[in-house]
Amino acid sequence: MTDKTRNKLTESQEDYLKKIFELGEVMPHVTTQALADHLNVKPASVTGMLRKLSELSLVDYEKYHGVELTAAGEKIAVQILRHHRLIEMYLSEVLGYTWDEIHEEAERLEHHISEKFEARIAEKLGHPTHDPHGDPIPSADLKFPDQPATVSLLDLQDGASGIIYRVRSQDADFLNVLTRLGLMLGKKLNVIRREPDGVRIVLDAERLLVPADIARKILLTTG
């Protein structure tokens, strides 16, 4: 994707393409309602935007049947994701932002950097493959790095252990809770047992009960 192509799109259009891609990773069909919920807009607004993106041949959209990115739409979405995640790494590694501070900053900046500036950031950082939340960073040719098999903490079996690899949320309050609990990337934990309201674990020799809504967003490797 060239800068010229990106300049034809609004920030809102880029946000829609990126969100369609992200939701497509975790749900079989991306619906109008799902987009409305995650973008905090009315379903009617989503419908209008999807029609515009369809006219630009960036999505395949049929009312009541969900939406998919075309090859052109996916290319743009992945490029914006690369911008976003590289910016997050730069804010964290170079400017000292904490992982709960970087998402909103990157949301604003991702639309405005050039491909040249993106390349400079990547070179400065040593071409990282993952951002501070564990999300994979596409390469310059828009290929994602290989990912290990992961399992959510909510689905980890009683008595099993794992290492936190990725978190499925960039919400600042959520990340602050993880920080307070010590649930950071690279940490090893052991599951004592799953309970109706969460998962009881041992982390750094302490017993914790991790609520279910938090546990389902924590991905671990177990190999």
CB 149 within 8 A of CB 116: no
What is residue 8's predicted lDDT score, i.e. its pLDDT? 82
Model confidence at 6: pLDDT above 90: no
In a domain, 146, yes or no: no
* pLDDT tens readout for residues 178-220: 999 999 999 999 999 999 999 999 999 999 999 999 999 999 9
Sequence-ordered list of residues with C-beta below 8 angstroms from that of 107, at least 6 positions apart, any chain: 84
Q: Which residues of 60-88 are buried (b: 16+ CB within 10 A; e: fewer)?
A: ebeeeebbebbeebbbbbbbbbbbbbbbb
Alpha-carbon span 90 to 92, nearest angstrom: 5
What is residue 2's predicted lDDT score, i.e. its pLDDT? 44
The one-letter amino acid code at 97 reads: Y
In a domain, 105, yes or no: yes
The one-letter amino acid code at 221 reads: T
Dihedral-angle region of residue 54 (phi above 0 means left; psi in -120 to 50 means alpha; beta otherwise): alpha
| Residue 131's CATH number | 1.10.10.10
Q: Quick one: pLDDT band at residue 62, thresholds 50, 70, 90?
A: confident
Q: Does 103 share its domain with 133?
A: yes
Alpha-carbon span 108 to 89, nearest angstrom: 15
Model confidence at 170: pLDDT above 50: yes
Task: Count the domains in the chain.
Answer: 2
What is residue 151's predicted lDDT score, i.e. its pLDDT? 97
| Residue 164's CATH number | 2.30.30.90
Q: Quick one: pLDDT band at residue 1, thresholds 50, 70, 90?
A: very low
Alpha-carbon span 3 to 116, nearest angstrom: 10
Domain containing 132 equals 1-139
SS3 (DSSP) at 61: strand
* pLDDT tens readout for residues 135-145: 999 999 999 99
Percent of the chain at pLDDT > 90 equals 91
Q: What is the mean pLDDT of the chain?
A: 94
* pLDDT tens readout for residues 16-33: 999 999 999 988 889 999
Sequence-ordered list of residues with C-beta below 8 angstroms from that of 111, at least 6 positions apart, any chain: 11, 14, 80, 83
